[in-house]
Amino acid sequence: MAGGTANVDVVKERAAVRAAIKKEFQKQVTNPHRHGSAEGGVLFDPAVQRFMSMRATRYDHFKPTPRSSLIGIAMLAVPILGYGWWMKTSRENFEAKCRTGQVAYADREFKFA
């Protein structure tokens, strides 16, 4: 699982625990009396449950630090607000140019008909 140690005893211990969990999994998954566990037949895996709960509760560990705030602003506020501002100003400038006659009807990109 975790890398880095070449200690044979540690590797053996980990393998023994893994083998025990595997054996127990096979025993439970082939247990014919497990149909009444109200879990849809899927054997409950605490690791999966912990992962899903972690994903659902990430905000509990969020703290507004300078770095996290900067990331939020740069990835969310700037693109959304900047795109909206660019759309508004570019269309407004084009509209003003057309209305004040700086752009002739024959030259404009989007004609009416």
Distance set, CA 70 to CA 62, 63, 67 (Å):
14, 12, 5
Any contact of residue 21 with another protein (CB under 8 A)? Answer: yes
Calculate Rg over the CA atoms of the chain: 31
Residue placing its CB nearer to another protein in the complex, 40 or 101 = 40
> 18, 88, 91, 97: which one contacts another protein (CB under 8 A)?
18
Per-residue x/- mask for another protein, residues 22 to 41, rule CB under 8 A? x-xx-xx--x----xxx---
Residue placing its CB nearer to another protein in the complex, 25 or 86 = 25
Which residue in 56, 59, 78, 75 sits closest to 67, CA to CA?
A: 75
Q: Which residue type sits at 5?
A: T
Any contact of residue 5 with another protein (CB under 8 A)? Answer: yes
Two tokens at 107? 């030259």
Per-residue x/- mask for another protein, residues 47 to 86, rule CB under 8 A? xxxxxxxx-xxx-xxxxxx-xx--x---------------
Cα 76 from Cα 64, distance rounded (Å) = 15
Which residue in 15, 60, 21 sits closest to 43, CA to CA?
A: 21
Residues near another protein, by CB under 8 A: 1-5, 10, 14, 17-18, 20-22, 24-25, 27-28, 31, 36-38, 43-54, 56-58, 60-65, 67-68, 71
